[in-house]
Amino acid sequence: MHPWNAPLFEALRRATGRLPHALLIHGARGTGKLALAEGIAQLLLCESADAARKPCGACDGCRWLRAGSHPDFRRVEPEALAREPAPEEEGDAPAKKGKPSTEVKVEQVRELAGFLNLRSHRGRLRVALVHPAEDMNPNAANALLKGLEEPPAGAVFLLVSHRPARLLPTIRSRCVALPVAVPAREEALQWLTAQGAQDPARWLAYAGGAPLTALDYAGRAQALQRLLERPGPVDTREELEALAEALQKIALDRAFTALGLPPKYQTGAAPAEPSQARAWLAFARQMGQHRLLARHPLNPKLFSAEMLAGLPQN
């Protein structure tokens, strides 16, 4: 649990027993939403008799959840985010190794429905955590919607989303929204300094105030700095997404300076002329769309060259 989310978690702890069957935990990427959802799952599955001590961290429920083996908890996320590969059955022929999926598939949600309709192993709640919820493909989203419309008794859904607008409106309407805000700048800087991040103010600005994202950026500072100073064609999908983000933030900083405002993301971009403001804003919007496309199977070198060709002329 990250310190800036502790007050929100404490409010939920006091409301234990009155929580809804589905929570939509949403906010900017890098604000600790997943850790908060995991904390809520532990709160719900803790077996301590003392409500004031929940989650106790010492009972069977807490220990099993921490070990990733609680029988009444399921995590649903894309294969690309899965912490451990699914074990192969003994005697099975080796499966073909393809790229891990970046979306939640309908089969995963159907398996979840089967789990939720079973009786609890511990005679308590059954908790399903879906992360990131917007990465469900259409069939998976519709399958989850059925469970939200007619939730099994004792089942709790925890949906974590960076982009809740991409969820089906019917899914959003059946969840109680729990927004997670970007923490205060000083609190975030204090935490980043405690983590040993170099130049925390610079990377917190580049991350839009999200501390976990800023910590990741600080760990890749040299590569990101090269990308900001000399953006060029790239060879991999990961580099493609980073390039689209860098170009978007460079464009926004240039647009801000063209409008007489200070740069927001500290990209080091040169100030732009007032007449260029609209061109840089249009390019920034285009790069926002390309950041989403970067996750699809595109040719990184060709797509990055296309993005760079669209840069407004100085």
- 19 and 163 together in one domain: yes
Torsion of CA 32, 35, 39, 41, to 10 degrees: 120
Each residue's pLDDT tens digit, 132-146: 999 999 999 999 999
- 173 and 224 together in one domain: no
Which residue, 180, 206, 234, sits at the end of a domain? Answer: 180
Distance CA 205, CA 294 (A): 23
- 156 and 249 together in one domain: no
In a domain, 301, yes or no: yes
- 161 and 234 together in one domain: no
Q: Which structural domain, as residue segments, surrounds residue 95?
A: 3-180
Which residue, 152, 180, 208, sits at the end of a domain? Answer: 180
Least confident residue range of 80-89, 211-220, 268-277: 80-89
In a domain, 132, yes or no: yes
Say whether pLDDT at 212 is over 70: yes
148's tokens:
């939200």
Task: Output 10 or 51, whichever has higher pLDDT.
Answer: 10
- Asked if 216 and 222 count as a contact pair (C-beta separation under 8 A), the reply is no
- 141 and 225 together in one domain: no
- At 80, the pLDDT band (50, 70, 90 cuts) reads confident
pLDDT of 75: 95
- 237 and 162 together in one domain: no
- At 120, the pLDDT band (50, 70, 90 cuts) reads confident
- 262 and 173 together in one domain: no
Task: Output 47 or 17, whichever has higher pLDDT.
Answer: 47
In a domain, 165, yes or no: yes
Distance CA 272, CA 260 (A): 9
In a domain, 297, yes or no: yes
- What is the model's pTM? 0.87
Say whether pLDDT at 97 is over 90: no
Average pLDDT for the chain:
90
Say whether pLDDT at 114 is over 90: no
- 31 and 154 together in one domain: yes
Say whether pLDDT at 86 is over 50: no
- 59 and 163 together in one domain: yes
The domain spanning residue 95 has which CATH number? 3.40.50.300
Once rounded to an integer, what is the mean pLDDT over residues 255-262? 96
Least confident residue range of 48-57, 199-208, 301-310: 48-57
Task: Output 100 or 70, whichever has higher pLDDT.
Answer: 70
pLDDT of 88: 45
Distance CA 88, CA 157 (A): 28
Q: Quick one: 249 exposed, middle or buried, by C-beta within 10 A (0-12, 13-18, 19+)?
A: buried
Per the structure, how many domains does the chain have?
2
- 161 and 302 together in one domain: no
Spatial CB neighbours of 256, under 8 Å, sequence gap ≥ 6: 262, 263, 264
In a domain, 47, yes or no: yes
Once rounded to an integer, what is the mean pLDDT over residues 265-284? 94
Which residue, 121, 155, 180, sits at the end of a domain? Answer: 180
Say whether pLDDT at 111 is over 50: yes
- 36 and 174 together in one domain: yes
- 36 and 132 together in one domain: yes
In a domain, 214, yes or no: no
What is the residue type of 146? K
Distance CA 311, CA 239 (A): 18
User: If you search the block for the tokens 């003392």, which residue do you land on?
Assistant: 50
Distance CA 202, CA 265 (A): 8
pLDDT of 98: 65
